[in-house]
Structure 1
Amino acid sequence: MSGYGDAAGGQQKIDYVFKIVLIGDSAVGKSQILSRFARNEFTLDSKATIGVEFQTRTLVIQHKSVKAQIWDTAGQERYRAVTSAYYRGALGAMLVYDITKRQTFDHIPRWLEELRSHADKNIVIILIGNKSDLENQRAVPTEDAKEFAQKEGLFFLETSALEATNVENAFSTILTEIFNIVNKKTLVAGEEQGNGNQASLAGKKILIPGPAQVVPVKSKLCCSSS
């Protein structure tokens, strides 16, 4: 995978642009996760996000250049009106809660319902338990989140934006899954055309069956802070 940021001067050929949305309650660390992934930065005095912002980072997946366009929104209720435009065109979503605040995990089903009502039904979703560095303040057992993720067919990882634990892994997981789905769709489209069906496939959705696999949580002891 490439380094942080996009290629100098914008000369790099981009094969794909994948829109990812970050959702979850306010102050769970969505902006910090984005900052860590896009710029490898973490700010202790991070201010609450107002409205919507997005950042990009270009990576290489299976020899293709993929530009991740990650959208971050304020988790406060008064900004919920942005939903339909925010979710439009999103291929992936990170559903974030704070492992030290049970309420943020209890709100996850509501966020998931909103996501599924506004986003494409084939969107790739990963559940993220952030602030794994605060293990001594944990209020959400890993097993609770893992069980929920398995029930809902979501990927799942615990991360620490502060220590950079699993942030790269989380984005790599969701982007690689999207990449594989997009490539399968392209393959299916090519097969249909090859079978004499020359009708335009523009705007046609080709559904890929099968639920997402759940990514096993790695213990803090085994994880590098890369």
Structure 2
Amino acid sequence: MASRKRTLLKVIVLGDSGVGKTSLMNQYVNKKFSQQYKATIGADFLTKELLIDEKLVTLQIWDTAGQERFQSLGGAFYRGADCCVLVYDVNVGRTFETMDNWHDEFLKHASPSDPTKFPFILLGNKVDVDDGNSRAISEKKANDWCVSRSNIPYFETSAKNDYNVDDAFHSVAKIALHHETNPDTYFQVIPETLNDSEQSSGCAC
């Protein structure tokens, strides 16, 4: 056993209700998928321990409730975030059309020191549905939107099939760590060998 320094990274996941935010988080952290997740009330979070560029990182991933509760959670909830993940359903056009609002509202409430450089990632979820025949938003349209927003990274995912989920969140962690200017660090007694499956969950309702 040894005491090793870890960096805590706070990630906020935003998007309309029903796009699969909770499913993506549970697939990434717990390697589980369910069709019967309860709707988030307020905010929930999961944590994942991982190694990024030889640094021990605790990724704290926050899932918020739908649009109507966004402002009621208060700016303090969003401040201190190191990355924001925007999620839409590739099969439902309106969930993509709200990305501008989610993006701008986050910056408004989080108040980062340099909004033009704050890291976002866009996830187009549920690519497994109907073998792609039900798509409403093309990959090109999503990529064009990302380019217009300072080249935000884009991943297409399926929480159900565990497609691209690890890659997407690994990218989230790397980008958050790279842009982290005032790292929150702490020491924890852990085994010498890092277990990537370490995890915990909590709720702040």
Q: Which band: TM-score by shorter chain?
A: 0.7 to 0.9
Larger radius of gyration: 1
The match for 1:18 is: 9
What are structure 1's unaligned runs of at least 5 residues? 1-8, 187-226
1:152-171 alignment to 2 at 5 Å?
152-153=149-150, 154-171=152-169
Supply the AA of the counterpart residue of 1:172: H
Does structure 1 residue 74 correspond to structure 2 residue 65?
Answer: yes
Q: Which of 126, 129, 132 is 2:124 aligned to?
A: 129
Matches within 5 A, 1:20-39: 20-39=11-30
* CA–CA distance in structure 2, aligned partners of residues 12 and 81 of structure 1: 39
Deviation at 1:72, TM superposition (A): 0.5
Which of 1 and 2 has higher RCO (CA within 8 Å, sep 6+)?
A: 2
Structure 2 counterpart of 1:148? 145
Q: Is the 8 A contact 2:85 2:123 kept in 1?
A: yes
Structure showing the higher strand proportion among its residues: 2
TM-score, normalised via structure 1 length: 0.73
Contact map agreement 1:90 1:123 (CA 8 A) in 2? no
- 8 A Cα contact 1:50 1:74, kept in partner: yes
> Are 1:14 and 1:67, in contact at CA under 8 Å, matched by a contact in 2?
no
Q: Secondary structure at the match of 1:150?
A: helix
Deviation at 1:79, TM superposition (A): 4.6
1:141 Cα deviation (Å)?
0.8
Displacement of 1:155 after TM fit? 1.1
Length-normalised TM-score, structure 2:
0.80
- Identical aligned pairs, as a percentage? 35
Find the residue that maps to 1:157 and give its secondary structure: strand
User: Residue 178 of structure 1: CA displacement?
Assistant: 2.1
Distance in 1, matches of 2:70 and 2:118, equals: 22
1:91-138 CA-to-partner distances (Å, cap 9, x unmatched) read 001000000110000111011110111221243100110001111211
